[in-house]
Amino acid sequence: MPYCSKCGKEVKEDAAFCPHCGAALRVPKLEYRRPIGVGLSIGRIIAAIFGVLLIVASIGLIAGGGGIMWVRRTFADSDGFLTSGEVRFHSDSYAIALRGVNVNVGIDMPTRMWMPRPGDLVTIRLVGTNSDPSKDLFIGIARDTDATGYLGGVEYDEVSDLDWPYKPWGDSQPQISYRPHEGSAPAQPPTSKTFWMASTSGVGTQTLEWEPETGSYWVVVMNSNGSPNVEFDLQLGAKIPILGTIGSALMAGGFIVLAIGGIVIYYGVLRRY
């Protein structure tokens, strides 16, 4: 039998107070709980900053990816080409040439590694129409050395300055500057040469598609018979197959980063333990 700690008399085991002196026989059990802090700790502040940065980054990724996909769906034609407006070129000479079209992946690796061909990344399209419907138009792309050898002694005009912006909503004409090169008529018409990397010729509208390779090139436009007075309208287009993949990847990555930022803020700032 238990005894009262105050008066020493015997008490019942389940008694809460001594029946003799009234002293309390049971000490109340104390429960300790983790205090809920008021305000944010340093850890929560860091989590909040990191979470907000992730959310801001995710918005940029989603907006960038969505913008790429919107441009591709809105302005690309049925073949997937983004195309400029028509530009009128004219020369009294035998040819109009755009020199120094350099194609390079732009990455130098100390160790030889696989790199995609430029033609795997982009396809160039030139659409030209001779202003004189009775004349055949020739459009050709040649390596620098071959074009230099063919036009070295020929009178032609080099395009020295051309502001050709992509304007799918209008056909405003850019200012074109030419640099004349003195010479005579070509010994042979351009259609007789086999060095062209890509070429097309004929009456009416001519379309040339080219998957570029690394190197330096000329774009040459002439009358197919090599006669003087070259005048034509030209459109430039480009198809970038990987563009859709880039847009989708940016959007998917943006949503993943957004989810991570939300988790960081919830568990690091909002959730109470």
Task: Give the tens place of pLDDT for each residue, 90-101.
Answer: 999 999 999 878
- Residue 58 inside a domain? The answer is no
Instruction: Give yes or no for a contact between 213 and 126, defined as CB atoms under 8 angstroms apart.
Output: no
Q: How far apart are CA 13 and CA 23, in angstroms?
A: 14
Domain that holds residue 86: 81-105+117-241
- Give the pLDDT band (50/70/90) at residue 111: very low
Same domain, 138 and 235: yes
Q: How many domains does the chain have?
A: 2
Same domain, 28 and 91: no
Same domain, 99 and 229: yes
Q: What is the pTM of this model?
A: 0.68
- Residue 57 inside a domain? The answer is no
Q: How far apart are CA 99 and CA 220, in angstroms?
A: 8
- Residue 179 inside a domain? The answer is yes
Longest dimension (CA), the chain: 135
Q: What CATH number is given to the structural domain containing 148?
A: 2.60.120.380
Q: For residue 149, report the phi and psi dihedrals to the nearest 5 degrees.
A: -65, -35
Residue 122 pLDDT greater than 80, yes or no: yes
H helix or E strand, kind and range, residue 179 = strand 176-181
Q: How far apart are CA 1 and CA 132, in angstroms?
A: 125
Same domain, 94 and 2: no
Q: How far apart are CA 186 and CA 81, in angstroms?
A: 34
- In the beta sheet, which residues pair with residue 83? 237
Same domain, 134 and 12: no
The three-state secondary structure class of 241 is coil
Instruction: Say which DSSP state 231 is in.
Output: E
At 180, the amino acid letter reads P
- Residue 169 inside a domain? The answer is yes
What is the mean predicted confidence (pLDDT) over 128-137?
A: 92
Task: Find the Cα–Cα–Cα–Cα dihedral 234, 158, 201, 188, rounded to 10°.
Answer: 170
Task: Give the tens place of pLDDT for each residue, 45-91.
Answer: 888 888 889 999 999 999 998 888 888 788 788 888 888 878 889 99
What is the mean predicted confidence (pLDDT) over 16-30?
A: 68
Same domain, 26 and 140: no
- Residue 96 inside a domain? The answer is yes
